[in-house]
């Protein structure tokens, strides 16, 4: 019987740790020092570098010392790959059972920010370290992605695929093709592991399919994803965006020594071993209280959608990355720092200023309905529905309905103020 490569790698790391313990080797310095040595540019959107610890932090430190992408590109790409490996194997001890999968989109300018370098180097490391790490470099249709899942499926094991794009616009163009169900398929597989789409001409049926996404995009291309096809279905709030800027510092990067790669592989083996021993992570009472306070006070905004879901996913990833068998208060604090950073990133890189667009439409609806009830068709015309788009109008009506300001009279078939 073939031995599970993840288990083999974890066992090798355990043996290495035992040898180090028997030789009474001195304890290494805390990783916090390396983290604090990273500097920022004082930008209001400065990544919380103090969270870059553990195996992913070591990887980011080493790679950014030889190459030009910012360290947090490597850090979050590493966690995305770990999540793809562990999906279906590790979760939180909760009825929600969140997966550790991530849809990560690295944002930057062309060339200088070295977005693709961070992705390719991280993926290459995982392919060399774990033979069961499955990557699909691009896909042209939902049917093609289905075939990839079925090809990689093994009896009794979750079928996990990391979908990788050097340029996210490739996915965007394929998803916008007439008749394509690639976009709804990807959106469904963000939270679910099942997808069914059956017509008289084709049949797509997936079960136990675990999809992760790691892609790069320029800010300009990312802005083009904000059309009705993406916003109406909610793809944009499923993306965890990672803006950043690289710095030219290595004209010809040197080769990373072999022993450094071995150390990184041992780090990966250690955290995979922790994951194999704790398929369900407990949350300590203090950690739970800290998260609940943030969750209950989280603003209601278009930019905060699915942010709480990502918080649960990163609790798993940061705990495993640190070699912890439970989610403690420090892990949750790091997660909340990351989520608050993500909220600011979404606000900064919202190309259509979504919250403002919806707020303006809400006010237009109030003014129109002050004159009296209006049928749905007349209300849409009055607020220039064709100009603002389906997504903005629908969210404005939804917000006003939830706040109790407007209601729809089914008898009169008209909207009116309460």
Please report the pLDDT score of residue 111 as a whole number.
53
Please report the pLDDT score of residue 224 as a whole number.
64
CA separation for the pair 172, 361 (Å, rounded):
28
**Stated length of the chain:** 418
CA separation for the pair 53, 34 (Å, rounded):
9
SS3 283: strand
Ordered domains of the chain (ranges, CATH):
5-281 (3.40.50), 354-417 (1.10.10)
Pairing of strands 195-198, 203-206: antiparallel
Quickly tell me which residue has 């997936």 as its tokens: 206
Q: Which of 318, 349, 350 is nearest to 333 (CA)?
A: 318
Per-residue confidence in pLDDT tens, the chain, 418 aa: 445 656 666 665 555 555 544 444 443 443 333 333 333 334 457 899 999 999 999 999 999 888 878 999 999 999 999 999 999 999 999 999 999 999 999 998 665 557 788 999 999 999 999 988 999 998 888 888 898 888 876 655 668 999 999 888 888 888 888 788 899 999 999 999 999 888 777 788 888 899 999 999 987 778 666 666 777 788 888 999 999 877 777 667 778 898 999 999 999 999 999 999 999 999 999 999 999 999 999 988 888 999 999 999 999 999 999 999 999 999 999 999 999 999 999 888 875 556 667 877 888 888 788 888 999 988 988 888 877 777 788 888 988 998 889 999 888 889 999 8
* DSSP symbols for 85-147: HHTTT-EESSTT------EEEEEE-SSTT-HHHHHHHHHHHHHHH-TT--EEE--SSHHHHHH
Please report the pLDDT score of residue 14 as a whole number.
57
Please report the pLDDT score of residue 32 as a whole number.
36
| pTM (two decimals) | 0.77
């Amino acid at each position: 019987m073939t031995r599970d490569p993840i288990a083999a790698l974890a066992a090798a790391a355990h043996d290495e740790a035992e040898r180090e313990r028997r030789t009474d080797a001195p304890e290494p310095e805390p990783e916090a020092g390396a983290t604090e040595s990273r500097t920022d540019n004082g930008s209001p959107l400065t990544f919380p570098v103090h969270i870059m610890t553990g195996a992913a932090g070591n990887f980011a430190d080493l790679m950014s010392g030889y190459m030009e992408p910012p360290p947090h590109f490597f850090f979050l790409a590493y966690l995305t790959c770990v999540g793809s490996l562990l999906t279906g194997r590790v979760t939180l001890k909760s009825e929600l059972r969140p997966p550790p999968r991530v849809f990560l989109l690295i944002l930057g300018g062309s060339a200088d920010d070295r977005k693709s370098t961070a992705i390719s180097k991280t993926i290459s490391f995982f392919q060399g370290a774990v033979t069961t790490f499955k990557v699909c470099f691009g896909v042209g249709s939902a049917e093609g992605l289905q075939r990839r899942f079925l090809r990689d499926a093994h009896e009794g094991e979750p079928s996990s695929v990391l979908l990788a794009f050097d340029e996210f616009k490739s996915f965007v163009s394929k998803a916008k093709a007439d008749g394509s169900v690639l976009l709804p398929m990807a959106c469904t597989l963000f939270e679910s592991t099942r997808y069914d789409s059956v017509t008289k001409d084709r049949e797509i049926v997936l079960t136990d399919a675990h999809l992760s996404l790691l892609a790069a995009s320029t800010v300009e291309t990312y802005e083009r994803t904000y059309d009705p096809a993406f916003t109406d279905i909610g793809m944009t709030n499923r993306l965890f965006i990672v803006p950043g800027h690289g710095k030219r510092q290595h004209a010809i990067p040197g080769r990373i020594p072999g022993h450094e790669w071995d150390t990184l592989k041992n780090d990966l083996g250690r955290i995979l071993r922790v994951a194999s021993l704790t398929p369900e992570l407990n949350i300590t009472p203090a950690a739970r209280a800290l998260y609940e306070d943030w969750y209950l006070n989280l603003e209601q905004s278009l930019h905060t959608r699915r942010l709480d879901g990502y918080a649960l996913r990163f609790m798993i990833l940061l705990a495993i990355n640190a070699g912890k068998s439970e989610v403690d208060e420090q892990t949750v604090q790091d997660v909340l720092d990351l989520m608050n950073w993500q909220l600011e990133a979404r606000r900064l890189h919202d190309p259509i200023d979504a919250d403002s667009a919806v707020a303006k439409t809400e006010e237009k609806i109030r003014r129109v309905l002050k004159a009296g009830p209006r049928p749905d068709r007349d209300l849409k015309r009055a607020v220039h529905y064709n100009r603002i788009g389906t997504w903005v109008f629908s969210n404005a009506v939804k917000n006003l309905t939830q706040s109790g300001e407007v209601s729809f009279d089914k008898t009169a078939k008209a909207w009116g103020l309460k």
